[in-house]
Amino acid sequence: MATEPTERVRDFVRETVIPVEEREHGELHRPYDGPGIHPRERALRAELQDAGRDAGLATPQLPVEWGGLGLTALEQAAVFEAAGYSLFGPIALNIAAPDEGNMHLLLHAASPEQRERWLRPLAAGRIHSAFGMTEPPPGTGSDPRALTARAERVPGGWRLSGEKWFITGAREAGLVIVLARTSGEPGDAGGATMFLVPGDADGLTVERDVHTLDAGLYGGHSLLRFDGCFVPDDGVLGDVDEGFRAAQVRLAPARLTHCMRWLGLAGRAQDLALAHVTARRGFGARLADLGLAQQHIADTEIDLAASRALIRDAARLLDAGQDAGTASSIAKTFVAEAVGRIVDRSVQLAGGQGVSEELLLSRYWREVRPFRIYDGSSETHRWSIARRAVRAHEEGRRHDLAR
């Protein structure tokens, strides 16, 4: 276990990041009518990332040759949780979504030239990136096969057309990784390809923001339009028509790192609640000593411990090069719901302050709610976990043989 980096991240978050988070009331993204990103939001990212670099802690998950600390998935679990203890920790360490998942994808699926062009500046924090998969109905959402965005073959490359929405960080992105259909029809299982599109490419427009509950992800979430946007052949990531398979390189680890970061924030929520109930007296006792308050406190400790165990179980499988699909689905479903329960209990224990701007808890409550929807909704994961369980049963595998 990477005790040393974890402790350094913990100290850095406490001493440097949390004061900035409190000063800004936990708001990174600011709605903006002008072009691009609100200047204060841009300045805040630079301030945090400079601090992370100065502390020697930026991009710790990447291999050493890419400027990181070469952490295993299990080591990342501890470091990302420590970073997530503040809403601003991940951006300070350059391990926030979607950049962290995109870096992982580029590391594992890109050609050496593509890595040099895109991973190098992303790892250094010189650019940020977006991942464009979701489309307005009837296009792809929970079901990837509903993909409607198209890429037509033209001399020297491809022309992309279609719409994407909820795309995090698309404003001012240096790179947008886009999934578009290169063959087949919406509903078909294959036929998708991933493209590396410069954020300022002709024919790519950020049409508008999609305003959501959260404000913790850089650039917010946008609706993008591709209007015959040209992408040369060297902008194809992986193989043509293999985009769904290549996307899996990103999706399983990315949903796990989301769990790690949000678990850190859930721990912070519990600490804020404990600070309140141990200081506040009522009914002849500290609130912390009243039975129903103790139940909230204990249930949160159970959720924290179970979440940590599931994350580390899936991380161990990833480190062993084994299929972590089911384990990461189980972890994602449980952790997304557990952090929601935890933050909600913390809000309750903090009373009026919990729903006010006196504490950061109401901000956290808004941040964690969407996690039950993105990276696969709870229902989609349960559906897939159940199908795998039934298939395993039909193949004769029983739970007494479980690892």
Ligand X SMILES: Cc1cc2nc3c(=O)[nH]c(=O)nc-3n(C[C@H](O)[C@H](O)[C@H](O)COP(=O)(O)OP(=O)(O)OC[C@H]3O[C@@H](n4cnc5c(N)ncnc54)[C@H](O)[C@@H]3O)c2cc1C
Binding stretches for ligand X (CB under 6 A): 98, 131-134, 141-142, 166-168, 212, 214, 221, 370, 373-374, 377, 379-380, 383
Strand partners, 251: none
Indicate the residue among 93 and 167 with the shorter CB distance to ligand X. 167
Separation CA 192–CA 374 (nearest Å):
20
Total residues found in the chain within this entry: 403
Tally: H helices and E strands in the chain: 13, 10
Indicate the residue among 215 and 287 with the shorter CB distance to ligand X. 215
Separation CA 382–CA 142 (nearest Å):
13
Q: How far is the CB of 17 from ligand X (least distance, A)?
A: 22
For residues 196 and 211, is the Cβ–Cβ distance under 8 A? no
The encoded tokens of residue 246 equal: 């290549």
Q: How far is the CB of 156 from ligand X (least distance, A)?
A: 27
Strands 192-198 and 281-282: unpaired
3-state DSSP call for residue 152? Answer: strand
- Contacts of residue 385, defined as CB under 8 A and 6 or more positions apart, other chains included, come to 326, 329, 330, 333
Q: How far is the CB of 15 from ligand X (least distance, A)?
A: 29
Indicate the residue among 281 and 388 with the shorter CB distance to ligand X. 388
The residue with tokens 């109930």 is 277
Indicate the residue among 71 and 343 with the shorter CB distance to ligand X. 343
Separation CA 5–CA 58 (nearest Å):
11
Q: Position 132: which residue type?
A: G
Indicate the residue among 194 and 266 with the shorter CB distance to ligand X. 194
Indicate the residue among 38 and 312 with the shorter CB distance to ligand X. 38
The residue with tokens 């990837």 is 144
Indicate the residue among 32 and 383 with the shorter CB distance to ligand X. 383
Separation CA 33–CA 18 (nearest Å):
28
Instruction: State which residue has the least CB distance to ligand X.
Output: 141
Q: How far is the CB of 173 from ligand X (least distance, A)?
A: 10
Q: How far is the CB of 190 from ligand X (least distance, A)?
A: 19
Q: How far is the CB of 183 from ligand X (least distance, A)?
A: 21
Q: Which of 205, 234, 227, 209 is nearest to 219 (CA)?
A: 209
120 Ramachandran zone, left/alpha/beta (phi>0; psi -120 to 50): alpha
Q: How far is the CB of 12 from ligand X (least distance, A)?
A: 26
Q: How far is the CB of 13 from ligand X (least distance, A)?
A: 23
Indicate the residue among 72 and 212 with the shorter CB distance to ligand X. 212
Q: How far is the CB of 192 from ligand X (least distance, A)?
A: 13
303-327 burial, b if ≥16 CB within 10 A, otherwise e?
bbeebbebbbbbbbbbeeeeebbbb
What is the H or E stretch that residue 306 is in?
A: helix 291-319
Q: How far is the CB of 362 from ligand X (least distance, A)?
A: 17
Beta strands in 192-235 (DSSP E): 192-198, 204-209, 221-232
Indicate the residue among 9 and 217 with the shorter CB distance to ligand X. 217
Indicate the residue among 158 and 166 with the shorter CB distance to ligand X. 166
Can you list the alpha helix ranges (DSSP code H) found in 25-133?
39-54, 73-84, 89-92, 99-109, 112-114, 120-123
